A and B are shown apart, each in its own frame.
Chain A
Amino acid sequence: MTSVLVAVGAVTAIGAVLAALLEMAGKLFADYGDVTVDVNAGSRTLTVEGGGHLLGTLREQGIFIPSACGGRGSCGACKLKVTEGGGPVLPTETPYLSATERADGVRISCQVKVRSDVAIWIPEEIFAIRSWKATLAAIRILRPGMVELRWELPAGERIRFKAGQYAQLKTARYGKVKEEVFRSYSISSSPRDERAVEFIIERVEGGICSTWVCDHLQVGDTAEISGPYGDFVLSDTDREMIMIAAASGMSPIKSILHALEEQGSTRKATFFFSARNMGELFHLDLMKRFEETLPGFAFVPTLTRPPEPDASWPGKTGRVPALIAEMIGDRVKDAEAYLCGGAGLIDGCTAALWAMGMPNERIFYDKFE
């Protein structure tokens, strides 16, 4: 018995010594000291503590690279170009990089460790992205499983965004969810409303963020919001607009409609909103208001499931491509399109628009990904 206890004690002691040695080695040899991050060929030079990942290091310096997973290496969204330093491309990056991107120095910034001086290139608009601790001012239930949140920025703060752009929301830990996560949501409010942002969020079964939003958030809670991100924006033309969305894909389209309303726009615009049944429709009163204030605007909700025989559904049924052919016809060739929704809706409608003669450069979309 004594010999067993001695053996266990010896193994434990050896383990403790090895752990201490590893810790000391880490401090002695993995101390990278201060390193510099050169941004856009000398446009900015940051002196940062070495050893962190590029995404987080830039974030600490107030430079917010879009990331859907918050740095877990699981979304591949936080791409940027590393022109010097950064080390070899890691196996965790390769699934997200095309051959062209790799040849061009594009990296997944949450996977790149800043161990020595590094030079990067990022689009100028990234510098406009900011972060705030926002306060939840209102929760509006649009239909079961669909809410619209209004987040107000701290006093005196403003967000300047273009209709169609998105922001990121950082969740809190709750229940068995041990880590905070970042999720991207299109802004549904007016760009003129610079004191707040609104998001339409649908409950995703088993979703970490949407469960937090739908079951845990309360008015007065705070959360980190950063933005604006994205290039899905309202164009500055007077072309006829074809808008297509389903579910929470209404969000950026609603923001675009607010912007058109505030501009006093007379552009011809038709918004095809696809839902399976009447229960999935929402914001009908708001769309009616847009029809009254925007002389060229029409809202066309369509149900993809046949309505119940006793339901008094006066609207359209069927899929959006058939309705575009029926209602827009040849005018498609000269129009431009704004789409937001799942891949099935976007891919199907995009193919239909091409077939009807709309050129690719006039099709703008924000696909649920």
Chain B
Amino acid sequence: MKQTPRERRIEMRMEEGTLARDGFLGDDPLRLDRMDVDARVLADAGISREEIGEVLQGLWQRARALMGEAYEPVPGVTVEVGEARGRIPCPFGHPGIYAKGVMTIEHGDRVLRVSPLSIHMIRSHGFFGGRGSMFRIEPDAAADLVRRLAAPAWQ
């Protein structure tokens, strides 16, 4: 599909070695078009990217406050945050810079690795990372997590 100049700029910023060593696109042949595929997966799951962003942001804040200690928001889901020095801008050119760090969410046999920037890109842009990239989250896995945390008890 033909790209607009803005999309070309975004894709350039997502390349390896520009904002992050490994970039954001992984080895995904669909590149930014992966967003359309992911949007259809979410639509089928009946969950919005904003809901996923809210849940991940809530988990990040609670886990970060525990200063490295892991916690279980619900039985079978373990969350842990490791913070790192530095900040990174959004490749979409969205204002703001995002803390570096990794939140690891284990639920069932799935392990999600989430950063503040990936939360922002999911919530604001519907970008879950290119397949094969470091912070790729499969939308169906994210939707599954949201369902598991749907009970208000953890919030």
Contacts and interface: CB of A to CB of B under 8 A. Distances in A.
B142 interface: no
A164 to B, nearest CB: 15
A176 B16 contact: yes
A171 B64 CA distance: 29
A178 interface: yes
Contacts of A343: 64, 83, 99
A208 B23 CA distance: 10
Contact of A246 (B16, B67, B88): B67
B152 interface: no
A277 to B, nearest CB: 10
B96 interface: yes
Contacts of B22: 206
Contacts of A275: 68
Contacts of B17: 175-179, 208
A127 interface: no
Given A248-B85, A347-B65, A369 B99 contact: yes
A175 B17 CA distance: 8
Contact of A319 (B67, B85, B100, B134): B67
Contacts of B65: 344, 347-348
Nearest to A251: B85
A248 B86 CA distance: 12
Interface stretch (A33-41, A68-76, A355-363): A68-76
B68 A304 contact: yes
A131 interface: no
B67 A344 contact: yes
Interface string A207-247: 11101000000000000000000000000000000000011
B103 to A, nearest CB: 11
B95 A183 contact: no
Interface of B: 15-22, 64-70, 81, 83-89, 95-97, 99-102, 134
9 closest A-B pairs by beta carbon, nearest first, are A342-B83, A95-B95, A74-B89, A344-B64, A176-B17, A177-B17, A368-B85, A176-B16, A304-B69
